[in-house]
Amino acid sequence: MPLPTTFALLVGNRGFFPAQLVRAGREEMLRVLKEHGYGVVCLDATATPEGAVGSLEDARRCAALFRAHREDIAGVIVTLPNFGDERAAADAIRLAGLDVPVLVHAYPDEPGQMLIDRRRDSFCGKISLCNNLVQYGIPFTLTERHTVPPASEAFRADLAKFAATCRIVRGLRGLRVGIVGARPAAFNTVRFSEKLLEREGITVEPLDLSEVLGRVRRLGDDEPGVRAKLAAIRGYIPQRAVPEPALLKMAKFGAVLDAWMAANGLAGTSIQCWTALEEYFGIAPCTLMSMMSESLLPSACETDVTGMLAMHVLQLATGGPSAIVDWNNNYGDDPDAAVLFHCSNLPKSFFAEAEMHFQEIIAGTVGKENTFGTIVGPLAAGPISFCRITTDDAGGRLRAYAGEGEITADRPKSFGGFGVARIPRLQKLLHFVCREGFEHHVAINHGRAAAAIAEALGNYRRWPTTLWSAEERC
């Protein structure tokens, strides 16, 4: 499950509208947020009239409170129980300087309650507030419906999406990730720009493969870190006739990676595999990568750093592990179905059933005995979200796309990790992927998160992001 999220709540108010609606709206919103498990930072009911923001002085008090809790606040929710003072609300957000996502919510009026003592006009006030936020250069998120009751299922869905957006925005700040080894010569497709990532606050820490193998050679078989990693590997996935020497090599390699990641504060890795590790060390690193991804430390193969970044974004959105797969093959003549495949290093929770095996493709050139470590089996059926991030070096920016589909119960005959994905308008999506120069790798995650990803990356990070849907492209 996703980690708890704390919101700053700003209650808007315009003085000549009924005060009781502001009091009741503030209390209801606080109750709803807490019922859904969110933390809340909000002005006390006595700090300003009705605990709301309706003047510059109110805005200053609200901003000071938010600044005092900036380390806790993942996003700001502005709720309008009445029209609200659009300048005061915008001022409070600007003065707080949090630089977090902002959700704008407006209460609905009731047709029989539109005389002066019960009239809200939040419908109109929301438009005015948004106009001011645009003038102030403050990006914001809208609820699916222009006005929506806080206690409704519709608003609950709005909150879930907004919370995911906030986690993504926050989780990308100051991110540190690792790359182990050089890009394989045959994988031009995963080239990327470290400089563009650094400009976006994402640091890439490199480690040469020779350094890893050198550290591995210095490890004794009975060192505590090695024995602990070996026990974790044995308990992670069934092993069918995997030789003991291969398991021990995996344990040493994994112990070195764990120590390096901890020392450098890394949130994920991308690792050279094809085919140096098999040929010169004698294992496939897939099980170790699967274990890391399952533990929410996403790991992508062939030094695909931006693919791993997409895994991380999906993980932030849903709170569950992500995988990296190939857009691999057609599935018969179904235009909306495709085979997703990898050798594989997918997290074990992605499989209907799985075991450790050897890498059948590479085995033909380096020998079966040097390729043990892959996780093989069919993928479990269910909904997925997918995402791809790339560095557009010529354009000097990052770009992305995200969408949703499902893994079906179909079982094509295959090796590695495999499944059939059904995605609306898949042929158009594949045209888009090809024409826009995206990579053949795509990150997937069990859950519905595409809209939150597009909001976080497109609206708040300002990365051109395509949200793929069953309708027209967004």
Q: What is the pLDDT of residues 328-376, one digit of tens each?
A: 999 999 999 999 999 999 999 999 999 999 998 888 888 899 999 999 9
> Residue 120: what pLDDT?
81
- Report whether the peptide linkage leading into residue 275 is cis, meaning its omega lies within 30 degrees of zero: yes
Please answer whether residues 76 and 100 qualify as being in contact, where contact means their C-beta atoms are separated by less than 8 angstroms: yes
Mean pLDDT, rounded, for 223-251: 96
Q: Facing residues of 392 across strands? A: 397
Query: What fold characterizes domain 176-467?
Result: L-fucose Isomerase; Chain A, domain 2 (3.40.275)
Backbone angles phi, psi at 6, to 5 degrees: -110, 130
Mean pLDDT, rounded, for 299-325: 97
Q: Confidence band (pLDDT; 50, 70, 90) for 472?
A: very low
Worst-scoring range by mean pLDDT, 27-31, 111-115, 197-201, 378-382? 111-115
Q: Is 440 left (phi over 0), alpha (psi -120 to 50) or beta?
A: alpha
> Residue 22: what pLDDT?
96
Q: What is the pLDDT of residues 57-94, one digit of tens each?
A: 999 999 999 999 999 999 999 999 999 999 999 999 99
Could you tell me the CA-to-CA distances from 146 to 129, 400, 470 in Å, in that order?
A: 13, 27, 22
Q: Specify the domain boundaries for CATH 3.40.275.10 within the chain.
A: 176-467
Please answer whether residues 310 and 328 qualify as being in contact, where contact means their C-beta atoms are separated by less than 8 angstroms: no
Mean pLDDT of the chain: 95
What is the DSSP pairing of strand 397-407 with strand 417-422? antiparallel
Taking the model in full, what pTM does it have? 0.95
User: Residues 6 or more apart from 394 whose CB is under 8 A from it?
Assistant: none
Question: How many residues comprise the chain?
Answer: 474
Please answer whether residues 119 and 19 qualify as being in contact, where contact means their C-beta atoms are separated by less than 8 angstroms: no
Q: What is 396-451 written as a DSSP string?
A: TEEEEEEEEEEE-S---S-SSEEEEEE-TTHHHHHHHHHHTT--SEEEEESS--HH
Worst-scoring range by mean pLDDT, 103-112, 205-214, 351-360? 103-112
Q: 303 or 4: whose pLDDT is higher?
A: 303
Q: What is the pLDDT of residues 402-418, one digit of tens each?
A: 999 999 999 999 999 99
> Residue 114: what pLDDT?
59
Q: Specify the domain boundaries for CATH 3.40.50.10940 within the chain.
A: 6-171
Helix (H) / strand (E) containing 314:
helix 305-318
> Residue 110: what pLDDT?
81
> Residue 240: what pLDDT?
80
Q: What is the pLDDT of residues 45-60, one digit of tens each?
A: 999 999 999 999 999 9
Q: Which amino acid is at 386?
A: F
Q: Confidence band (pLDDT; 50, 70, 90) for 470?
A: low
457/121 Cα distance (integer angstroms): 32
Chain-centroid distance of CA 310 in Å reads 7
Residue 183 pLDDT greater than 70, yes or no = yes
Query: What fold characterizes domain 6-171?
Result: Rossmann fold (3.40.50)
Q: 109 or 436: whose pLDDT is higher?
A: 436
